[in-house]
C-alpha cells in the first residue's frame, strides 16, 4: 500500500480550508500518491485528471466542516476553557460572522494562541482518523 506523509495531507487540507467552503478542492491519487488541486479562482493549477470521479483511484480531501471542525469544535473549546462563556459563544454562532466574534472574544481573553493550538491538534487527530477511514497509510 502507498504511504503518504501527514504533512502532505495537512497541506492539501489547508488548501481546501482556505476561503468559502468547497471553493477549493484537493484530491489524493491512491495509485501515484500525487495530489491534485482545483480552485474556482486559480486557472494556473494543473488540470484535474479526466477520471477524478473514480473513487477507487482518487479520494477527495475533506473540508473542515466535513470533519466537524467548525462551530462544534469552538463550543468544545469554550466548554473546557471558558465554561462561563458557553451560552454567549453559542449565541455568537447563531448569526453570520460568529467565528470572527468568537476569535475576538479569545483575543480579549488572551486565549487566541491556546485556541490555535487546540484547533491544530483537533485537525491532526481528525485527519489521522480520516486517513484510516479512507485506507490511506501514513508514513514518514
The domain limits of the chain are: 3-64
Q: Are 17 and 63 in contact (CB under 8 A)?
A: yes
Confidence of residue 23 (pLDDT cuts 50, 70, 90): confident
- In sequence order, the β-bridge partners of residue 60 are 27
In this structure, what C-alpha cell is assigned to residue 25?
478542492
Q: Where are the alpha helices (DSSP H) in the chain?
A: 6-17, 71-81, 86-92, 98-108, 112-133
Confidence of residue 75 (pLDDT cuts 50, 70, 90): very high
34 membership: H or E segment, kind and range = none
Is the per-residue pLDDT at 45 higher than 70?
yes
Q: Are 21 and 27 in contact (CB under 8 A)?
A: no
Average pLDDT, the chain: 91
User: Poorest-confidence range of 38-52, 78-92, 98-112, 115-129?
Assistant: 38-52
Per-residue pLDDT, 68: 86
Per-residue pLDDT, 33: 92
The pLDDT tens digits of the residues spanning 120-134 come to: 999 999 999 999 999
Please state, for a pLDDT cut of 70, what percent of the chain lies above it: 98
Amino acid at each position: 500500500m502507498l504511504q503518504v506523509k501527514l504533512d502532505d495531507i495537512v497541506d492539501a487540507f489547508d488548501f481546501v480550508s482556505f476561503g468559502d467552503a468547497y471553493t477549493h478542492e484537493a484530491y489524493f491519487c491512491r495509485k501515484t500518491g500525487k495530489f491534485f488541486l482545483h480552485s474556482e479562482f486559480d486557472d494556473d493549477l494543473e488540470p484535474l485528471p479526466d477520471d477524478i470521479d473514480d473513487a477507487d483511484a482518487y479520494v477527495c480531501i475533506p473540508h473542515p466542516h466535513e470533519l466537524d471542525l467548525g462551530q462544534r469544535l469552538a463550543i468544545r473549546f469554550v466548554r473546557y476553557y471558558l465554561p462561563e462563556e458557553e451560552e454567549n459563544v453559542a449565541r455568537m454562532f447563531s448569526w453570520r460572522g460568529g467565528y470572527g466574534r468568537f476569535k475576538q472574544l479569545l483575543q480579549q481573553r488572551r486565549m487566541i494562541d491556546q485556541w490555535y493550538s487546540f484547533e491544530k491538534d483537533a485537525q491532526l487527530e481528525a485527519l489521522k482518523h480520516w486517513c484510516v477511514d479512507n485506507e490511506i497509510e501514513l508514513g514518514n
